[in-house]
């Protein structure tokens, strides 16, 4: 029954991964750049949640939406201050578009890690759980309350996001800008405002996944590295920029990793995802579900 | 020779002379700076200057944005350390082996990532760097994992190390200048500015991109190997992504795509980081903020700021030449 246990746990982790990665996929879909500070959106969410709950004694259920607001605010701010040059006359730059995005987001990542390290301290915090339950078994599968709730909320958020993008006017504007920025602008869509919205959503989702996982992972300043790397793998695997691809790839990666850790090597489990990343980039850069998009 | 090419040659010559002036200044420093501690700091800053030169060759001159310079420094250092640890190979073999090993690995990686650009290339090299670090850190039996390996020292005197590092840096600068002035440099710039155009003009893009990759990695590998013998300890921490971040910040602050920029950037950033250590660990906060501000507003770096007035006069409206 080990296989079933691994499958269920893999899928649960896949849901967490999807929540982390989907915002990165949205940003890539619209600006065709990788946000190397994505892991720090997650870290900020985890810290907001933990510090509000521990230091200000706010109920974890109230801290969760506040962490989401912090993440959305950070995403919005990053877009306003740093991303604008990407779509307003970057062509004459010596640091070209891609390079600019790598330098700026990589720098932002270092900045946020070290600011948190300096202000809050380098030591991990133990976040309070939404509900305190000990581990219990569901058939052959071992779970705990926090994990179940986090997985349930992740699923709900992902479904909500999918509906938002498919049905709502804002969601359709996002799709339009992702498909063709200029075309969307000509059709009367405010592409700049839509990009702000995308960064806010991206920050919100990453921060929420950080907050939901805070009780399971004990946030430290560099805690974002792990979800960031998972997100890169997922976004590439699912097809750069494809939201649906990212969701599917996240579940796939969660399950594959669970099996790899048990049947192949626990020590090298973190290298496994990266190996997938290299292989996919080399042999199928359009990802499993994405359109061909090698030349940017 | 067209006007633009002439302009580039002139600019490169000025750039190289400025870099030489920095090296000469550095060569005079031990007359004033005598404490082993300060010399040690200068040696480490020269190590970073080498990494910055190596990374800049790829990112600044060929437009290949790698996130693996620190990983190659780590791999170079480990090549030397492992040869000593397992085979008792002397440094006379260990150091050249690091150069050849990282060059070959760089050639391989360069060939593999040939068609990848921008974010794709950044992600691939980032994963390569992280895989290398995880494998080195987790192969306990072979590398002693996070404990690191001891490396024999080349000589006792810090002044000796200082001049060795400086001599190697000078050799790297001179070699790069020669290459950049010649055919390879023109091809690299052509590839950086317009790869498709370069290919259609008959430039062997595959060959020159791979050459840049191999050279850049060999520079980082040599730097890492030398750093290992200086610090006498080699650990996976050499390959941390944070180290790559430091190298990028040095190049961006100094001036990307120049010879003097990375040099000045490395010295300034590392010396400033030592100086700021006294105020608590705020170095990385300051550098990250400075990098963002430079990338956002002063994209030509300090070297660009320093040479801008003269350049504008000299350029005289030579449009189409990138700063």
Tell me, what's the pLDDT at A101? 86
- Which pair of structure tokens corresponds to residue B163? 């001049």
* Cβ(B100)–Cβ(B215) below 8 Å: no
Question: Would you say residue A131 has pLDDT above 60?
Answer: yes
- Segment of A92-106, A112-126, A190-204, A224-238 carrying the highest mean pLDDT: A190-204
Sequence-ordered list of residues with C-beta below 8 angstroms from that of B52, at least 6 positions apart, any chain? B247, B250, B251, B254, B262, B263, B265, B266
Say which residue the tokens 């006498």 belong to: B232
**pLDDT-above-70 percentage for chain B:** 93
Q: How distant is the Cα of A116 from the closest Cα of chain B, in angstroms?
A: 10
Write the residue in B63, B113, B296 that is nearest to A82 by C-beta: B296
Q: Indicate the average pLDDT of chain A.
A: 84
Interface A-B, measured as beta-carbon pairs within 8 A, has a size of 138
Residues of B in contact with A28 (CB under 8 A): 119
Q: Does A98 touch chain B (CB under 8 A)?
A: yes
pLDDT surpasses 50 at B320: no
Show residues of chain A in contact with B285, CB under 8 Å: 111, 114-115, 118
| pLDDT-above-90 percentage for chain B | 33
Whole-number pLDDT of residue A289: 57
> What residue in B sits closest to A82 (Cα-Cα)?
B296
Q: How far is A221 from chain B (nearest CA, A)?
A: 13
Tell me which residue in A95, A115, A277 faces B127 most closely, judged by beta carbons. Answer: A277
Q: Which of residues 122-141 of B touch A (CB under 8 A)?
A: 122-124, 126-128, 130-131, 134-135, 138
CB atoms within 10 A of CB A147: 21
Contact between residue A22 and residue A246 where contact means Cβ atoms under 8 Å apart? yes
Alpha-carbon gap, residue B158 to B154, rounded angstroms? 10
Give the closest of A97, A107, A225 to B288, CB-based. Answer: A107
Q: Which chain A residues have a beta carbon less than 8 Å from that of B295?
A: 95, 100, 103-104, 107
Residue A85 CB contacts under 8 Å (≥ 6 apart), including other chains: A93, A100, B296
> Which of A99-108, A283-292, B268-277 shows the lowest mean pLDDT across its residues?
A283-292
CA distance A219 to B323: 43
B127 interaction partners in chain A (CB closer than 8 Å): 229, 232, 274-275, 277-278
Q: Please tell me the distance from the alpha carbon of residue A146 to that of residue B75, in angstroms, as a whole number.
A: 41
Assess B286–A contact: CB distance below 8 Å, yes or no. Answer: no
E runs forming strands in chain A: 136-138, 141-143
pLDDT band at A296 (very low <50, low <70, confident <90, very high): very low
Structure tokens at A252: 């796939």
Q: Does A269 score more than 80 pLDDT?
A: no
Tell me which of A36-40, A89-93, A258-262 is least confident: A89-93
| A230-245: average pLDDT | 84
pLDDT of residue B72: 95
Query: Integer distance in angstroms from the first to the last C-alpha of chain A?
Result: 46
pLDDT tens digits, residue range B59-86?
889 888 899 999 999 999 999 998 888 8
Q: Could you say which of A28, A236, A275 has the minimum Cβ distance to residue B131? A: A275
Q: What share of chain A is helix, strand, coil (3-state, %, to 5)?
A: 75, 0, 25
Least confident of A109-123, A260-274, B224-238: A260-274
Q: What 3 state SS string does B245-284 have?
A: HHHHHHHHHHCCCCCHHHHHHHHHHHHHHHHHHHHCCCHH
Q: What is the pLDDT of residue A266?
A: 78
Q: Which two tokens stand for residue A7?
A: 């499958």
- The pLDDT confidence band at residue A287, using thresholds 50, 70 and 90, is low
pLDDT tens digit sequence for A186-229: 888 888 889 999 999 999 999 999 998 888 888 888 888 888 88
If phi > 0 it is left, if psi is from -120 to 50 it is alpha, else beta; for residue B219 that is alpha
| Interchain CB distance below 8 Å, B252 and A82 | no
ipTM of the complex: 0.81
Q: Which residues contact A34 (CB under 8 A, 6 or more apart)?
A: A24, A27, A28, A101, A102, A105, A232, A235, B119, B122, B123
Flag if A94 and B322 touch (Cβ within 8 Å): yes
Interface test with B, best of A31, A80, A114 (most B CBs within 10 A): A114
pLDDT(A290) > 70: no
- SS3 of A177-226: the string is HHHCHHHHHHCCCCHHHHHHHHHHHHHHHHHHHHHHHHHHHCCCHHHHHH
Interchain contact, B252 vs A282, CB within 8 Å: no
Q: Which of A194, A109, A179, A150 is nearest to A18 (CA)?
A: A150
> Which contacts of B202-208 are long-range, i.e. CB under 8 A and separated by 24 or more positions?
B206/B111, B206/B114, B208/B62, B208/B184
Residues 246-275 on B with a CB inside 8 Å of A are: 248-249, 252, 256-257
| Mean pLDDT computed over A242-271 | 85
**pLDDT tens digits for B192-215?**
888 888 888 888 888 899 999 999
The pLDDT of residue B7: 80
């Amino acid at each position: 029954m080990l296989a079933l246990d691994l499958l269920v746990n893999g899928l649960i982790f896949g849901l967490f991964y999807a929540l982390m990665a989907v915002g990165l996929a949205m940003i890539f879909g619209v600006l065709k750049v990788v946000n190397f500070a994505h892991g720090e959106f997650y870290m900020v969410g985890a810290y907001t949640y933990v510090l509000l709950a521990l230091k200000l004694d706010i109920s974890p259920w109230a801290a969760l939406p506040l962490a989401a607001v912090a993440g959305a605010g950070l995403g919005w701010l990053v877009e306003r201050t740093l991303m604008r040059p990407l779509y307003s006359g970057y062509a004459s730059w010596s640091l070209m578009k891609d390079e600019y995005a790598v330098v700026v987001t990589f720098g932002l990542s270092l900045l946020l890690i070290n600011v948190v390290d300096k202000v809050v301290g380098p030591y991990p915090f133990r976040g309070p759980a939404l509900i305190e339950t000990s581990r219990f078994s569901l058939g052959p599968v071992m779970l705990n309350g926090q994990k179940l709730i986090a997985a349930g909320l992740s699923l709900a958020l992902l479904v909500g996001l999918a509906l938002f993008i498919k049905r709502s006017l804002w969601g359709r504007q996002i799709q339009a800008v992702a498909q063709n920025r200029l075309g969307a602008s000509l059709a009367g869509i405010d592409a700049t405002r839509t990009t702000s919205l995308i960064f806010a959503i991206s920050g919100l989702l990453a921060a929420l996944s950080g907050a939901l996982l805070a009780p399971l992972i004990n946030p430290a300043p560099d805690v974002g590295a792990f979800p960031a790397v998972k997100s890169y793998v997922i976004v590439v695997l699912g097809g750069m920029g494809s939201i649906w691809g990212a969701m599917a790839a996240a579940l796939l990666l969660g399950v594959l990793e669970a099996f790899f850790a048990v049947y192949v090597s626990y020590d090298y489990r973190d290298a496994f995802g990266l190996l997938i990343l290299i292989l996919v980039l080399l042999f199928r850069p359009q990802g499993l579900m994405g359109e061909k998009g090698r030349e940017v | 020779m067209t006007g633009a090419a002439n302009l580039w040659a002139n600019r490169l010559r000025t750039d190289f002379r400025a870099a030489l002036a920095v090296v000469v200044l550095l060569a005079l420093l031990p007359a004033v700076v005598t404490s082993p501690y300060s010399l040690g700091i200068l040696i480490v800053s020269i190590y970073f200057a080498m990494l910055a030169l190596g990374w800049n060759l790829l990112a600044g001159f060929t437009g290949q944005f790698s996130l693996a310079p620190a990983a190659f420094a780590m791999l170079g250092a480990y090549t030397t350390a492992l040869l000593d640890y397992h085979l008792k190979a002397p440094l006379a073999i260990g150091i050249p082996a690091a150069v050849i090993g990282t060059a070959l690995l760089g050639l391989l990686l360069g060939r593999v990532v040939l068609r990848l650009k921008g974010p794709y290339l950044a992600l691939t090299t980032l994963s390569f760097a992280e895989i290398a670090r995880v494998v080195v850190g987790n192969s306990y039996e072979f590398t002693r994992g996070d404990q690191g390996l001891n490396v024999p020292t080349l000589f006792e005197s810090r002044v000796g190390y200082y001049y060795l590092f400086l001599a190697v840096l000078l050799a790297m600068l001179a070699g790069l200048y020669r290459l950049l002035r010649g055919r390879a440099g023109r091809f690299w710039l052509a590839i950086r500015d317009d790869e498709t155009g370069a290919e259609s003009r008959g430039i062997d893009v595959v060959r020159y991109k791979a050459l840049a990759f191999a050279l850049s990695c060999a520079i980082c590998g040599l730097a890492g190997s030398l750093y290992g013998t200086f610090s006498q300890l080699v650990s996976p921490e050499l390959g941390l992504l944070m180290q790559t971040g430091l190298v990028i910040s040095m190049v961006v602050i100094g001036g990307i795509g120049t010879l003097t920029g990375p040099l000045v950037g490395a010295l300034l950033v590392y010396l400033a980081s030592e100086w700021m250590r006294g105020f608590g660990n705020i170095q990385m906060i300051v550098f990250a903020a400075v990098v963002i501000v430079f990338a956002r507003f002063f994209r030509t770096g300090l070297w660009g700021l320093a040479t801008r007035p003269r350049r504008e006069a000299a350029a005289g409206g030579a449009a189409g030449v990138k700063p």
